[in-house]
Amino acid sequence: MDYQDGNALAGPLSEIFTLDVTVAQGTCAGCGLRGPLAGLHVYGAAPGLVARCPGCEEVVLTLVRGPKDVWLDMRGAVSLRIPVTE
Amino acid sequence: MGIISRAFSGRPREPDAKLPPGQYLVHDFPVLSAGPTPRVPLDRWEFSIDTAEGQVHRWSWEEFQALPQETPTVDLHCVTKWSKFGTGWKGVSLDVLMEDVESAAEYALAYSYGGYTTNLPLEDLLDGKAWIVHEYDGEELAPAHGGPARLLVPHLYLWKSAKWIKGLRLLDEDWPGFWETAGYHNYGDPWREQRYQGD
């Protein structure tokens, strides 16, 4: 296996979101599959991570961490449903 | 004159002239991929150059193997900060592949089996600076390292040396590729440490 699961995104995403976004339900723009970001297949090593849909392997998001900026590219996500407390 | 004599300050360690800034030397060959490894049967492999003027030049595996071959030995520099010296390859120079291609294009977009893309100025692929390689260290190129064939552009960071190369699209305008649209530098010169947009 040459990828990690989407929990590998938890650390890098916690730098830019106050909520744990890995539990958010994402919808793949390629095949419409819905599931938590923690279920994505994550490839690559720092500075660039590529998270792919477990259904169709299309790119859902990329995350690049530079010394001064983080680039979050959500090219393959139709939406993110993020649970919040009332 | 300072309090401490120069004799006690020691001689600064000479930086390795072959190592670009911020890089460290490795002796293994790390594998980094942005997705699943494509498996491309040789009887279905082809390499194309599409010009901005609409012409298509295409080579089958047999036609590609029949072209004049070169064996460059080059240093590699990855944006993840490792460098590897003296890697030996076998393949076809882009000068050979571009010989009969007539185009006024100034840019190229390399595209791969599996969907990866990366962009380069066309001049960075010519004059002995780039190859399509199919052997590494005397063996056929393993799929994990980009086999059957990959682009090799050693003077730029390694993400520009697209694995599983399928073709080049020659363009009048620069068209950023996979990593270049996601925060990586558009050009990627390791000697100027061009890792990210804005570097």
A65 assigned to some structural domain:
yes
CA–CA separation, A22 vs A24, rounded Å?
A: 5
pLDDT band for position B15 (cuts 50, 70, 90): low
A86 assigned to some structural domain:
no
Q: Partners of A71 in the beta sheet? A: A64
Residue B59 predicted with pLDDT over 70:
yes
Residues of A in CB contact (< 8 Å) with B are 2-3, 43-48, 50, 52, 57, 59, 62, 64, 66-71, 73
Q: How many domains does chain A have?
A: 1
B110 assigned to some structural domain:
yes
Q: What average pLDDT score do residues B42-51 get?
A: 97
| pLDDT attached to residue B3 | 47
Residue B1 predicted with pLDDT over 90:
no
**Chain B 103-122, CB below 8 Å of chain A: which residues?**
115
B26 assigned to some structural domain:
no
B62 assigned to some structural domain:
yes
CB-based contact, B31 to chain A, within 8 Å:
yes
Residue B143 predicted with pLDDT over 70:
yes
Q: What average pLDDT score do residues A25-50 get?
A: 93
CB-based contact, B90 to chain A, within 8 Å:
no
Name the nearest CA neighbour of B119 among B161, B72, B85, B78: B161
CB-based contact, B32 to chain A, within 8 Å:
yes
For residue A84, the distance in angstroms to the closest alpha carbon of chain B comes to: 28
Residue B154 predicted with pLDDT over 80:
yes
Q: How many domains does chain B have?
A: 1
Query: Which CATH number belongs to the domain containing residue B99 in this structure?
Result: 3.90.420.10
- The DSSP element (H or E) to which B64 belongs, if any, is helix B61-65
Residue A1 predicted with pLDDT over 90:
no
Prediction pTM value = 0.91
| pLDDT attached to residue B14 | 53
Domain that holds residue A66: 4-81
| pLDDT attached to residue A8 | 93
Q: How would you class B70 by CB atoms within 10 Å of its CB: exposed for 0-12, middle for 13-18, buried for 19 or more? A: middle
| pLDDT attached to residue B60 | 98
| pLDDT attached to residue B107 | 98
Nearest to B181 among A43, A70, A73 (CB): A73
CA–CA separation, B128 vs B153, rounded Å?
A: 10
